[in-house]
């Protein structure tokens, strides 16, 4: 086994929420984190084994599924055939109001009303509506390409100027760009959470035998704990559109093998309009009786689907909500 550090791809820019998710999920390792400008680049890095892992957003508890990720997992052109999900990470989205370092050492109570412009990503304004309405009504707002970019702008302000800016971004971005958090947790909704998938290449020797949670410790971890944890599996399939009830039949196969459904998504097949690729995620608590449940379900699914692909199995990090 190589002694090189693990390489982890994330969706850029630096200090983005994806960067934070990668840093936190690989916190116990000395992994190198590499930004990628688009989802496809991060997938390609894993397929070509330039990265050992990729950390990719797949779903937000308020906004729903991330379709770019589903489209890459659909892999209609067989570009990422060795990329599978091996883990997940849940990141709660907390926003802070950030200001140039040293502007208000006393935090929000010492704020003198002098901020004339606010910066953040368009989506974040709506997530902090109440706070902004209370303290920053009428203050000019400028959209920027990422929350991290807003923190960067504020970090580069000239101290002498009359124009003072504020940025809405994460504490992670504040630390990265060296700015102060005037106030934390300014979001309206405390439970806004993004789920990230962790991908690896199933042919890569460096990672194939490792538990994701401790990717730099071969055969590490507590075997008892692993046995009791719930496992999730993601499967994609397409069905024969001339056969009524094909989707219901496919879902019954999961039930027959004791696999609980946890999510279902569809994307256009792009072969014919109004036909779909289905993504079904299911869970089970491993035990002697269901060791082969996923394998058997996939075998049965191949009998009722046009195509069917196992996209990986990993340990549930949250406690699943079954459907």
Binding site for a second copy (CB under 8 A): 59-65, 67, 191, 193, 195, 239, 241-248, 251-252, 254-255, 260-268, 270, 272-276, 318, 320-323
CB of 158 to a second copy, least distance (A): 31
Q: Give me the least distance between CB of 195 and a second copy, in Å please.
A: 8
DSSP category for residue 190: T
Report the alpha-carbon distance of residue 40 to residue 304 in Å, rounded: 30
CA distances from 76 to 3, 20, 42, 269, 276 (A): 35, 30, 17, 8, 12
Closest residue by Cα to residue 280 from 300, 295, 259 = 259
Minimum separation from the CB atom of position 125 to a second copy (A): 15
Q: Hey, is 166 helix, strand or coil? A: strand
Closer Cβ to a second copy, 103 or 263, answer by number: 263
Residue closer to a second copy by CB (options 48, 92) is 92
In angstroms, what is the minimal distance from the CB of 322 to a second copy? 6
Question: At closest approach, how far in Å is the CB of 159 from a second copy?
Answer: 35
- Smallest gap from residue 251 Cβ to a second copy (A): 4
CA–CA distances in Å: residue 311 to residues 10, 55, 70, 78, 163 = 19, 15, 11, 13, 51
Q: Using DSSP, state whether 12 is helix, strand or coil.
A: coil
Which residue reads 């992670």 in tokens? 172
Q: Closer to a second copy at the Cβ: 52 or 281?
A: 281
Structural tokens at position 27: 């916190």
- Residue 264 or 295: which CB sits closer to a second copy? 264
> From the CB of residue 316, how many other CB atoms can be counted at a distance below 10 Å?
15
Nearer to a second copy, 18 or 305 (CB): 305
Q: Which is nearer to a second copy, 199 or 253 (CB)?
A: 253
Q: Which is nearer to a second copy, 60 or 216 (CB)?
A: 60
Least separation in angstroms between residue 238's CB and a second copy is 10
Residue 61 exposure: Cα atoms within 13 Å on the Cβ side: 14
Virtual CA dihedral for 78, 84, 89, 92, nearest 10 degrees? 20
Is residue 119 within 8 A of residue 165, CB to CB? The reply is yes
């Amino acid at each position: 086994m190589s002694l090189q550090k693990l390489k982890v791809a994330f969706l850029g820019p630096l200090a983005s929420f994806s960067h934070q998710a990668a840093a936190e999920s690989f916190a116990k390792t000395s992994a190198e984190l590499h930004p990628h400008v688009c989802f496809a680049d991060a997938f390609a890095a894993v397929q070509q084994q330039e990265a050992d892992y990729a950390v990719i957003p797949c779903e937000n508890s308020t906004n729903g599924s991330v379709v770019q990720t589903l489209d890459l997992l659909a892999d209609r052109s067989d570009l990422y055939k060795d990329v599978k999900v091996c883990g997940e990470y849940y990141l709660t989205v907390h926003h802070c109001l950030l200001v140039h370092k040293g502007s208000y050492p006393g935090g929000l109570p010492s704020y003198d009303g002098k901020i004339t412009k606010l910066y953040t990503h368009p989506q974040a304004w709506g997530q902090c509506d109440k706070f902004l309405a209370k303290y920053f009504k009428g203050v000019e707002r400028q959209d920027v390409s990422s929350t991290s970019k807003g923190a960067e702008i504020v970090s580069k302000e000239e101290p002498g100027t009359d124009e003072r800016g504020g940025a809405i971004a994460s504490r992670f971005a504040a630390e990265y760009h060296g700015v102060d958090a005037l106030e934390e947790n300014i979001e309206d909704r405390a439970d806004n959470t993004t789920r990230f998938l962790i991908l690896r290449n199933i042919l890569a020797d460096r990672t194939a035998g490792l538990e994701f949670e401790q990717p730099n410790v071969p055969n590490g971890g507590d075997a008892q704990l692993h046995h009791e944890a719930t496992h999730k599996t993601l499967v994609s399939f397409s069905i024969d559109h001339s056969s009524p009830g094909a989707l219901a039949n496919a879902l019954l196969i999961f039930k027959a093998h004791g696999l609980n459904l946890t999510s279902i998504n569809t994307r256009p097949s792009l072969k014919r309009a109004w036909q779909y690729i289905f993504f079904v995620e299911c869970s089970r608590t491993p035990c002697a009786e269901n060791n082969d449940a996923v394998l058997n379900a996939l075998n049965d699914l191949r009998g009722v689907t046009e195509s069917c692909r196992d996209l990986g199995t990993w340990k549930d990090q949250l406690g699943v909500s079954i459907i």
